[in-house]
Chains A and B, each alone.
Chain A
Amino acid sequence: QVQLQESGPGLVKPSETLSLTCTVSGGSISNYYWSWIRQPPGKGLEWIAYIYYSGSTNYNPSLKSRVTISVDTSKNQFSLKLRSVTAADTAVYYCARVVRGSSPTYYFDYWGQGTLVTVSS
């Protein structure tokens, strides 16, 4: 059973960089896409980015200028960096495994428990 676990600071100051890591256990990070998704308190889901284990990436156009997603296959981890954060970036951040189907289609079959990141001075 694949498990994902987010880790990183729960509090980030405005204008600084939010950094999170997702550790994958129970399976290899190889041959899959991996993604970050966030959910502001009381609001809906927002996709941030996904990365293939080989390193190819796609980003939400609305966040692309501030986001970097990366993967470390040796550690079975992938990471998120979000620069120049504001209070609007306060959210629960989830990591998830992506299934790429035909057509194409992408959907998320395994999710981490989520980690709340608050942007505040």
Chain B
Amino acid sequence: SYELTQPPSVSVSPGQTASITCSGDKLGDKYVCWYQQKPGQSPVLVIYQDSKRPSGIPERFSGSNSGNTATLTISGTQAMDEADYYCQAWDSITYVVFGGGTKLTVL
């Protein structure tokens, strides 16, 4: 089955750039999306089709995908960005696959 791997945690200082990676076999051949989930809330789509932002998502959120790694980048990270982030892709055998999630700490 297809698997996506994320680091369990990432830390960033306010105002700096946070990068969260998601790795999988030939992931660059697939589209990746990213969700933000704050405690007690439902996930929110922040990036789809590798690098597109839904309406209402701040420009500081961006994404890229190449080779075996997709990256969610948050520029000028704010305290409100502290959350869990999940990558997700679609595979023809496993269908929908989520990464294990990354806890972003802004300190």
Q: Is the interface of A mostly helix, strand, loop or mixed?
A: strand
Given A94-B42, A109-B45, A111-B42 in contact, is the A44-B1 Cβ separation under 8 Å? Answer: no
Q: Which of B18-26, B72-80, B97-105 contacts A (4 or more CB under 8 A)?
A: B97-105
In the assembled complex, the CB of B50 is this many whole angstroms from the nearest CB of chain A, namely 9
User: Total A-B residue pairs with C-beta atoms closer than 8 Å?
Assistant: 69
In the assembled complex, the CB of A26 is this many whole angstroms from the nearest CB of chain B, namely 16
Report whether B42 and A114 are in contact in the complex, using a CB–CB cutoff of 8 Å: yes
19 A-B pairs (CB sep. < 8 Å): A44-B86, A44-B98, A59-B95, A60-B94, A60-B95, A60-B96, A61-B93, A61-B94, A94-B43, A105-B31, A105-B49, A105-B89, A108-B43, A108-B45, A109-B54, A111-B42, A111-B44, A112-B42, A114-B42
Residues of B within 8 A of A (CB): 1, 30-31, 33, 35, 42-45, 48-49, 54, 86, 88-90, 93-101
